[in-house]
Structures are given as C-alpha cells and as structure tokens.
Amino acid sequence: MKVKGLKRRKLDNVALAFPAATGKRDSRVFRIYCLLKENVDKRALQESVTEALNKYPLFGSVLKRGNFWYYFEKSGMVPEVKEEERIPCGYMYEKGREKLLCSVTYGKKRINLEIFHALTDGTGAIEFLSEIVKIYLEKAHGVENRTSENKAASISEQEEDSFSRYYSREKQEKKKRRSRPAFLIRSKRVSQSEIRITESTVSVEKLLKRTRELNISITVYITAILMKAVELTMSRKEKKKPVTVMIPVNLRKYYPSKSMSNFFGWMETEYQFGDASPGTEEIAAHVKKRFEEDLKPAQVAARMNSYIRIEKNPLLKFIPLGIKDLFLKIGTEIGGRNVTAVFSNMSAVVLPEEYGNYIERFGAIASTDKLQLCACSYRDVFYLSFSSKYVNSEIQNNFYSLMKKEGVEFDILKDKDIKEKL
C-alpha cells in the first residue's frame, strides 16, 4: 500500500508510557468490536480493511526505538484478516519487531479490531472500525449512505499531535487535590497470561430513566454503582483507604481536534467509606459533585498541561531511552497504587441509519493489571464489560446485584476465564 502522510511521527504525550508499561501482567491492548446480524464474509472484510486503511493510514504504522524517543513509522502493510483464534487483548507490541499495532479478526457475526494503546484511543479506534463496517456493508449489501456527513478529516488532521497543539505555557490555576493511596483489591490473581471477562447489555432507555430520576449522567451512575460494589467487599480496616476510580476523559470534547491518535486525559474520583454504609444515591451525589469540579474546562486544561510540561523539559531530550523507560515504568507502578479500578465510557457509536438494519451492537474490552470496566452504546443497547486479573468475581456480582436492586434490568452475555499461552 502506498504510504500517505508523514513517514515518521513522534508519540503523543499519553502514548509515551505505553511501550515502557507493557509487561506480562498487561498487554496495553484493547478491543472494539461490531456484532452483525449475519455471518461475516472474510473476503469482503479484507477488502474493506484495505480501503479503510487508505483513508486512515495511521493504522498502518509500526513502533520503532530511537536513541532518545520511540517513534511511529508508516509501513505500507495492511492487516491480514484472520479468523479469531487468540484471546481478546493479547500481546501485540514486541520490542525489536516491526509489526502492525492493530489487527482485524472475525468470528461468525463479529468483526474485531484490536489496537496497542500507544497508537490511538477509544475514539480513534471506533472511528476506524466504523469505517471498516460501513465499507463492508456497502460491499455485502449495497448499502448507500444517504445521510450527509461532515467532511472527512485530512491526513494531517488525523495524525496531529493535539497535545502539543493545545499545550499552553501559561500558568493555570488548578484546584489542588492530592492523590492518596487507594484501597487495592487483594484477591488471588489469575496467572499472568489470563484475564477474566464478563459482558452484559442494558437498555439505554431504561438506564436513562433511572439516571434522570437521580439527575445524574450515566457515567456518574455507573461509577457510583462500581464504588458501592467494591465497598461491599471491604473490611472495616480496609475502609480507612478510599475507593478510587480512574476515568479517562476525551479531550476532543474540550478542544476542536480531529486527531485519530491518543487525545485523552483522566480524572481520579474517590469515595472515603466510613463505618456507615452509604447508599447508591449518596455516593452518586458525591461523584456528581466531583465530576462538576474536575471537568471544568480550566481544570481539564491544567491537568493536561501539567503532564505535557514534563515531556517538554529540555533536559529529557538528552536522557537515553532505556533510562526514560525505567522511570516511566516506575512512575506507572507508583501511580497504580492510587487507583482501585478503571472505568472507561467510550460513549455512543453513531452510524447513519442505513447501516442499522445489519448491526446488532458494538462492544469494547480492555486489558488490565487489576479491574477495568468498559462501556459503549449503539442505539438502545448500552454495553458493559468487566476485565479482571482476579480469581474472585465478587465485585462483578455485587455490581449486577446493585443494578437489579435499582430496577435496571440487564443481560449477562458471557462470563468465562480466558487463557493465552505465553
């Protein structure tokens, strides 16, 4: 395939840590998938991937090591569509090997896109998978998009480092909130090559009915339920530490970026449980207040700039990559002590109505070294997946018991152990 855009480009601010942090416990790979209402045609899917890559050439990149920094290089390679064999979110990046950082597989009615997180975030991945699905349905069924769409982003806009573009050197007032060591789940872990996955779906309409009664967003509601589910597993002594949930924040909602690379920040929301056991509504009110404070544009900008300021320190230019990797890995491990679990809501997947007759739903699964909850929605289907490194599934069971008590009906799709050979 002819290479478009810049042959080489540097990693964005968030991506810098992923190569260093990738290890036996966490592949740093996530999966976005589309479940169709019919079996997948491999040949049509391969043609669709090739066409989509012409529009989004960023996904044809490989990761290389320089003396001082990692960088992406366009390879001209196209992902070879294969029938799904390996487990979701298995290892993809291998130091010293030039290989694509994304793959496309299929299984019966499912089209899977897996990506090493250094390449893009959930927003970029959904955009690329949506393009593949649209082309596929046009080939398989002659579906024509009669809905007017916004002009596609140019290659330079897609590959823009939006962190650098919107970085400000001006000192910004940021409300100081010191991170504290969080409650860490102490359950027995599965072996380093395993991950437990639980998937479920909820009606968007029914979920919204409950969140509107509480005057909160779906993300606030799910976060509160997750915190309560964790609290139910804690001893009185353990409640001396807060339950802290890390939540990625899509920065495209704050800056007019069309970048397909990573452009997200994060916030940490904690709840300090005491002797009393608060209900979901009380926790949700606290979480809502924290969201309102931490998602103010000035706060989002201040957090983003604080991380970029470290990257742009001129002294870092002269530190060898191996030493940078060591400190990034240590920093990631230390930061992990302040987080109990991660909740990533990738929001709604929106496609023109013409394609809806052929699509059942979308889903998202992420690798993790602890406990992570992912969510996305399509039409009236709100999807949730737990990824866990723990043998015990008490938190997941508590989560769904609480949902049931709240009157929010759900369907468990599967609950299984998945193992990969190293």
One domain, residues 75 and 213: no
One domain, residues 193 and 64: no
Query: What is the β-pairing status of strands 359-366 and 264-271?
Result: unpaired
Q: Considering the domain boundaries, does residue 107 fall inside one?
A: yes
The answer to whether the beta carbons of residues 194 and 418 sit under 8 Å apart is yes
**Residue 159 Cα to chain centre, angstroms:** 19
For the residues of 145-190, what is the DSSP string, one character each? Answer: --S--PPPPPHHHHT--HHHHH---S----------PPP---PPBP
One domain, residues 245 and 383: yes
One domain, residues 297 and 192: yes
Q: Considering the domain boundaries, does residue 362 fall inside one?
A: no
Question: What gap in Å lies between CA 126 and CA 161, rounded to an integer?
Answer: 19
One domain, residues 140 and 235: no
One domain, residues 85 and 216: no
One domain, residues 209 and 125: no
More confident residue, 4 or 293: 293
Q: Is 194 exposed, middle or buried (0-12, 13-18, 19+ CB in 10 A)?
A: middle
Question: What gap in Å lies between CA 417 and CA 213, rounded to an integer?
Answer: 36
Q: Cα Rg for the chain, rounded, in angstroms? A: 21
Instruction: Give the number of domains in the chain.
Output: 2
Q: How far is CA 129 from CA 18, 241, 327, in A?
A: 22, 40, 34
pLDDT tens, position by position, 249-266: 999 999 999 999 999 999
**Residue 62 Cα to chain centre, angstroms:** 20
The partner residues of 124 in beta bridges, in order of sequence, read none
Sheet bearing 359-366, strands edge to edge? 82-83, 102-107, 110-116, 29-36, 359-366
Q: Which CATH number belongs to the domain containing residue 386 in this structure?
A: 3.30.559.10
**Is 0.85 topped by the overall pTM?**
yes
Domain that holds residue 69: 8-145
pLDDT tens, position by position, 15-52: 999 998 887 778 999 999 999 999 999 999 999 999 99
Taking residue 363's Cβ as centre, other Cβ atoms within 10 Å add up to 25
The answer to whether the beta carbons of residues 403 and 410 sit under 8 Å apart is yes
pLDDT tens, position by position, 136-178: 999 999 887 755 455 678 999 999 999 999 999 876 666 666 7
